[in-house]
Structure 1
């Protein structure tokens, strides 16, 4: 045990250093030698961040953790962290933690180097940054590809030294470059950094003309290209006495205003100019960092007309050109760093800027020189860490989480969870009559006008063409199947009119107009079973169907007024992925089945090359005496001199000739041609959709080609089909507006054909239809409204279900098919309207901004569907295999981005080749495979049910997925489910309450004031 003197000594020194440091808020680290160890105490540390000391056994030693600048108190075998935040991070927390909601502008940085070209001193642009670095290629007149800046560690330390020793001018009032230069030089003289006699020489150099990469000299020999000399000789200094020092105009030049690079820079951007060079009249570096109070356009200083906010100037003695350039690249790279740019805007003094450099150094990754070639340019990554993640580490609320064990790694339970899957307030249970419906109407009312004029965009044209072709194909397919299943009580014409009516009304008045309504497989099966039941029992099918529709409409209304859509929040990603994957596979399988049907009708011909000699067909003239037709007799009499062997097959038959030969019954390979059209349309669509990421043609043209990919693919293969002239199956569109079955009209009467009790008994099958409609509609709506789509205008689950119910009754009275949200086509609608940033930085991937939310595209699609009857002469040229290729694309495209599909592919990948998914970092691979296997089994069960007579209970099985998800809580931990799926609302609520309880306990354990800390140490 330690003596009382040791305890008193420890308490004395700790109290003295800790509280004096906190009281005076010193900027330098204090040192204390105790027990052979040196203690560094960080400044700017609040007392509430001191950890409580337990297991106090003397002798204790005070240690310094050099990696984190933390203070450790080692007592026996335990080490307790007193401070675990570096001085730089603590200072930046105060700088960035100020209440200022103004966003930091994007910075465009240009680096100019001092050159001597043809006896003339000038500043020549050598590199530029928006997000990534572009440099002027040596010996050429072109920019390099954007790449990640690779800096030497030595250059960062030299930059830190420059900021420590140079002049720092913050919030300088300057409106022209000569004025700013005078202020900079005067400050250097006032600080004693340069003698007054150098003012004229330095000003002369800084005010030389700037030549940018876009400006080419008229007369320049090839030998001069790449010539660089950084010497500013005394000859040019003497010229300053007889020449104007201001060679820079204060207004932007014509070249600047016409520079197309402005498209890559955001509108609110500001410039940072870096000027580096060597001169012969300085014996030590001239360094200055300037931040202007207001961003000012300094004429031709920058290659683009962007106002300048920052200036960094480095002039030095000769012989260190490479070192100066690397320092310039270092400060330029820091200026486009999101965190350092915030510091540069909010810095109050030199120390703040140095703290920003220190924080950058803390995050820098060093590559060993023997394992990496610095000449290799690193391609910009597809995804970069968010600046908010780096800033959150500096946040006051996060500092407590940074305090770990002495070893630097925080132990204990892993409480890291991904962002929760929240459906928003649209599914909040109000407890009032029709409360959810009323909130949906209030939410959508302010967007009525924008829902129309937002649709006036060229992107909407491609979306209309794409979805229109998908809808008419769907209408024809399901119309034909309904006609076969119901003896043409509902056929293609009813399908066209129903699609047009239901889709137009829904897109005009619903809560989410991006949803596309269509007939679905389960509804088709229900119609087939209902018709067979009615036929076998002598019941009028259309009247019974009308009452089922009425009951289902009323049941939908009941679900709306009771806020029943609230239960959708219990449908996690597990249910969504199972449902959407099933629908996608249905699209893919149906397209392939249709193509297989064509193969059976017109099989591929088998060729026999050995019998090619007998492969012929001849036209034989008719016998004059045997012809009983007077017209043929007259024709034969006038065509006796005709060469019958040269007639075509059709002419031979028309003139009464006879075809003789083995090849006369030749049938071309229609199946083979159909498959070429089918896979060709799909492949070309996929290729053109990816074309916007290629390197060919300008960005605008690539994006335009990508937007019209499906339209171009369809037109290309329609043209190929017409060029080949084969009788491939074509799109059949009705040409007259009349019911498919002649003995029925456009209005179904509710009474007179069935017994009265069927009007009540139809409530039971209507309940099954309602479950089907509810599940199909709301799951599709959840998929469309997911947060990944960044929808801003909100949605309306209750309002959508209300209009689906209304349309159920309307279609039942008119004898039209029932319609519900179509998952795959709705996802395709979303994808065709996605928006990306127009001014992305060179090398940076375009940022997804959201979806063009409007009602116009949906309304136009369904209006055109109704008018398709009058477009039959044009539409009849479209081959059905082309449209099935579109079906295949929609099914495959809707699988992209589904985590379930990505996890299936992991089964075929060795662990070292698997992508770096976030869930693989937190969940063991065997648990991932087990979760995926459960989903595969559930999907297989749904597929089997869909393919049998049990398909009528398909909606009930969707509810069964929710039950399976509830049982998964018994197989997987909440941590695993948080990464592989979503935590159920009840579990999520409990988890949040536990986190709040832990935070309260942790806050209660922390000392609240200086006096409490003093008492704690005194007791020790």
Structure 2
């Protein structure tokens, strides 16, 4: 199809199959709009042009003309970076940032002003007096302004400017001497203005001047775009060069209307799409087209159904204008399949994890991808946020190492214990963080591995086979099998992992952390039972007797206080107060968890400066631990403490640090160990790759890419190394890895007033992981310090890890929908496209599967858990299936 544009040139349009339209292709109403609307056609050519220079952020300030005694002055009344801030009626403070609410009438009046007023684009301006002279000269030449009003207009426009941030009113030399009116505006504002921190670097300003005067009978309107942004003295509150200038002076009696028009143009100037139009406009009609597009997108609230005096709070996440811009993009329209802007093609993971068709092709690609980032992987770790991450993950790792080491010692008759767990964690974790493809992953032992070790030890004991030698050969075979999987690009299988698999796996691990923390805490109540029958005031019934000074007297019915008061003595074990260690442990446990949660949310508080809030939030876990360790020391009760090995030697005295491969088992055992090794390989492969998929989610905005093949390679190497040293086997720990990522999340520092900090990504580096595992290794030398940490405090950290890892899991959000009436349910995108009953049905299926896995995890079948979790995926999921707006009857990726 071909139509003519406003320059009478032919325009080509691609016609799409309407039935196949989705959010990556051009919607039908926009397509028709481009054909029928001259304004939309103009914007298509304005915004569709290639431009290497990004549009600067605009700071907009509106000044109104006011009477200051016998003199006129321009007083700052409002400002915008993204949201509007007004000077309150008292004139002493700024209002809270809020969404600008404009009347439709003011937008139409603004359109009329641009249509009938003076528009000067790319004006060569170097000072405000020169710019004012150019505007007045243009109006006089066009017959819009009488020449006898030239001096009066110039006098008004060059009055001094009073800004809200400046308490004294500084005057220029011309004002002080009152001998000239050429430059009577304020000097440049204080460069130390704190508001500058809220304005992005390289920002430019647009100034809006509105007011009423008694010598005009019709409005004086001008819109100016300077060829180069220029600092115009004290025109702007902050030292930002001015690019745009809008002036509206009119007859008296319409000050409110003028003020609304000024707010309208100021709001448009901070709109991402209109600011692009303003920078690229070639004439007046282009600006009018931009206003028309803004009017097309405006939503009108009926009068009487809301209170216009209410200030609308800024949204937590500002909607990007990219979708509006894409409608007018020549590049996107030029592609018949709508592939521009990320539509079509493979997803990121599908491109990275591929079958390369050559030996170790995926491994070489991972290495090639990681080498350019190697240096930054270290120097980017030098940040104060890394300190809090190291302390947090370190405490989680040593607690896990002690817990797992103790259980492993019981299961293997101390062939592997706490010391082996510490050494293995330190060795495996350090090597993995140094050389892996995804150093944010934290290695740890898992429940299925523990059960496998227990079964293997019992099998060896019952059949007279040396356990450590058999375990060594299983580790060697498993290492070789991992190498084979790496060489054949077997990590390609992760393309088959759906949201169902990810959510089920991560939810189960999170619930295990939560339940284990609670179980260990409840164990304190069994070990230190509460004496519910203890009554301190009466002694006779509890084997605590009161002996009178005179043996002939019977004082057994007296209370303790009476016995002591009258000179008696208390005899018996129950006479002394028995401290309630279980209750104290619970206080430490729940106090650590609740304080961590509270301090973590403190960065969203309204108290204290932003940097202090963020610092408190980053160190929330460390502060909570130190607080309750101090409380425990202050009370002085003998609560259970962290027990760390103090000597560097194997847990079992009759074994060494090196396991020899030959001499204790028959030769056929070396070959037969291939079979159990295959089971271990499947277990490790699925556990490692599912955890890696969760860590490498697109929501985490990781920019350095992943390395599934490289990760599996080093897991295989460490399997063999740990087998030779008689240390536990290690694989990616989902919950601790998620906690590691959460502790390293970055947010924008310079944000507009009212704008919530935006998630920028994760501080990707290797330093925090290396330090965590190095500290784990030297923990045996830190035993004198670590022995003061109560175990209930660490259980509280475990509970926080489990609960925190549930946030962001859609499965958990859908579970909570069961308990919410429909009118209180959050506005999730999937609830807009999928019936609620089908959402509940899908969630119920996930809950049943999760319950089955939960039951099986406590049996010998737990070693098959990763295989069973992986069975929920059936085929690769393409990019098209991930699109949330495709209306389908099933729930596969709609949820």
One fold, TM greater than 0.5? yes
Q: Does 1:677 align with 2:588?
A: yes
Residue of structure 2 equivalent to 1:962:
873
Q: Does 1:341 align with 2:275?
A: yes
Is this contact kept in 2: 1:339–1:390, CA < 8 A? yes
In 1, Cα distance between equivalents of 2:647 and 2:465: 30
Structure 1 pair 737/82, CA: closer, same or farther in 2 (3 Å)?
Answer: closer
Q: Secondary structure at the match of 1:423?
A: helix
Matches within 5 A, 1:536-685: 536-609=462-535, 611-612=537-538, 660-661=571-572, 663-664=574-575, 666-685=577-596
In 2, Cα distance between equivalents of 1:822 and 1:569: 20
- What's the CA shift for 1:726? 1.2
Is this contact kept in 1: 2:496–2:875, CA < 8 A? no
Is this contact kept in 2: 1:919–1:979, CA < 8 A? no
Q: Does 1:244 align with 2:181?
A: yes
- What's the CA shift for 1:935? 1.3
In 2, Cα distance between equivalents of 1:438 and 1:49: 42
Cα deviation, 1:286-309, whole Å, max 9, x if unaligned, reads 111111111112221111111111
Structure 1 pair 393/401, CA: closer, same or farther in 2 (3 Å)?
Answer: farther
Residue of structure 2 equivalent to 1:950:
861
Residue of structure 2 equivalent to 1:640:
none
Q: Does 1:909 align with 2:843?
A: no
Q: Secondary structure at the match of 2:214?
A: coil
Q: Secondary structure at the match of 1:126?
A: strand
Is this contact kept in 2: 1:468–1:862, CA < 8 A? yes
Is this contact kept in 1: 2:475–2:719, CA < 8 A? yes
Q: Does 1:502 align with 2:436?
A: no
Q: Does 1:149 align with 2:100?
A: yes
From 651, 655, 663, the equivalent of 1:744 is: 655
Q: Does 1:871 align with 2:782?
A: yes
- What's the CA shift for 1:454? 0.3
In 2, Cα distance between equivalents of 1:442 and 1:964: 29
Residue of structure 2 equivalent to 1:199:
150
Is this contact kept in 2: 1:938–1:961, CA < 8 A? no
In 2, Cα distance between equivalents of 1:47 and 1:148: 39
- What's the CA shift for 1:392? 2.1
Matches within 5 A, 1:802-817: 802-817=713-728
Instruction: Tell which structure's C-alpha radius of gyration is larger.
Output: 1
- What's the CA shift for 1:959? 2.6
Is this contact kept in 1: 2:444–2:733, CA < 8 A? yes
Q: Secondary structure at the match of 2:404?
A: helix
Is this contact kept in 2: 1:605–1:668, CA < 8 A? no
Structure 1 pair 401/161, CA: closer, same or farther in 2 (3 Å)?
Answer: farther
In 1, Cα distance between equivalents of 2:681 and 2:698: 27
Cα deviation, 1:5-61, whole Å, max 9, x if unaligned, reads xxxxxxxxxxxxx99xx56x558xxxxxxxxxxxxxxx8883647999xxxxxxxxx
Structure 1 pair 977/667, CA: closer, same or farther in 2 (3 Å)?
Answer: farther
Cα deviation, 1:798-840, whole Å, max 9, x if unaligned, reads 1111111111111100111111100000000101001011011
Cα deviation, 1:324-363, whole Å, max 9, x if unaligned, reads 1110000000000111111111111000000111111111
- What's the CA shift for 1:722? 1.2
Q: Does 1:486 align with 2:415?
A: no
Residue of structure 2 equivalent to 1:898:
809
Matches within 5 A, 1:96-495: 96-217=47-168, 242-248=179-185, 252-253=188-189, 255=190, 257-395=191-329, 422-495=348-421
Is this contact kept in 2: 1:201–1:240, CA < 8 A? no
Cα deviation, 1:963-996, whole Å, max 9, x if unaligned, reads 4999xx99xx995679954499xxxxxxxxxxxx
In 1, Cα distance between equivalents of 2:101 and 2:581: 59
- What's the CA shift for 1:611? 4.9
Gaps of 5+ in 1: 1-17, 28-42, 53-66, 71-80, 220-236, 403-415, 621-644, 647-657, 985-1020
In 2, Cα distance between equivalents of 1:833 and 1:555: 34
Is this contact kept in 1: 2:744–2:762, CA < 8 A? yes
Structure 1 pair 241/878, CA: closer, same or farther in 2 (3 Å)?
Answer: closer
Structure 1 pair 976/953, CA: closer, same or farther in 2 (3 Å)?
Answer: farther
Q: Does 1:828 align with 2:739?
A: yes
Structure 1 pair 469/26, CA: closer, same or farther in 2 (3 Å)?
Answer: closer
Is this contact kept in 1: 2:409–2:417, CA < 8 A? yes
Is this contact kept in 2: 1:159–1:330, CA < 8 A? yes
- What's the CA shift for 1:702? 0.8
In 2, Cα distance between equivalents of 1:844 and 1:492: 49
From 687, 694, 705, the equivalent of 1:794 is: 705
Is this contact kept in 2: 1:85–1:399, CA < 8 A? no
- What's the CA shift for 1:601? 0.8
Is this contact kept in 1: 2:224–2:244, CA < 8 A? yes
Q: Secondary structure at the match of 2:234?
A: helix
In 1, Cα distance between equivalents of 2:46 and 2:29: 20
Structure 1 pair 449/217, CA: closer, same or farther in 2 (3 Å)?
Answer: same
In 1, Cα distance between equivalents of 2:345 and 2:70: 62
Matches within 5 A, 1:921-932: 921-932=832-843
Matches within 5 A, 1:508-527: 508-527=434-453
In 1, Cα distance between equivalents of 2:345 and 2:813: 19
In 2, Cα distance between equivalents of 1:977 and 1:950: 37
- What's the CA shift for 1:248? 3.5
In 2, Cα distance between equivalents of 1:419 and 1:592: 46
In 1, Cα distance between equivalents of 2:715 and 2:194: 50
Cα deviation, 1:933-952, whole Å, max 9, x if unaligned, reads 22112111111111112112
Q: TM-score, normalised by structure 2?
A: 0.90
In 2, Cα distance between equivalents of 1:441 and 1:883: 37
Is this contact kept in 2: 1:418–1:978, CA < 8 A? no
Residue of structure 2 equivalent to 1:623:
none
In 1, Cα distance between equivalents of 2:889 and 2:752: 34
Is this contact kept in 2: 1:44–1:87, CA < 8 A? no
- What's the CA shift for 1:365? 1.1
Residue of structure 1 equivalent to 2:37:
86
Is this contact kept in 1: 2:158–2:181, CA < 8 A? no
Is this contact kept in 2: 1:730–1:877, CA < 8 A? yes
Of 540-549 and 200-209, the range deviating more from structure 2:
200-209
In 2, Cα distance between equivalents of 1:178 and 1:552: 81
Cα deviation, 1:60-111, whole Å, max 9, x if unaligned, reads xxxxxxx9899xxxxxxxxxx8986433222211111111242211111111
Structure 1 pair 45/932, CA: closer, same or farther in 2 (3 Å)?
Answer: farther
In 2, Cα distance between equivalents of 1:983 and 1:238: 67
- What's the CA shift for 1:911? 2.0
- What's the CA shift for 1:777? 0.8
- What's the CA shift for 1:845? 1.1
Q: Secondary structure at the match of 1:849?
A: strand
Residue of structure 2 equivalent to 1:990:
none
Residue of structure 2 equivalent to 1:699:
610
- What's the CA shift for 1:958? 2.1
In 2, Cα distance between equivalents of 1:591 and 1:957: 25
Q: Secondary structure at the match of 1:299?
A: coil
Q: TM-score, normalised by structure 1?
A: 0.80
Is this contact kept in 1: 2:123–2:224, CA < 8 A? yes
- What's the CA shift for 1:463? 0.5
- What's the CA shift for 1:123? 1.1
Structure 1 pair 689/830, CA: closer, same or farther in 2 (3 Å)?
Answer: same
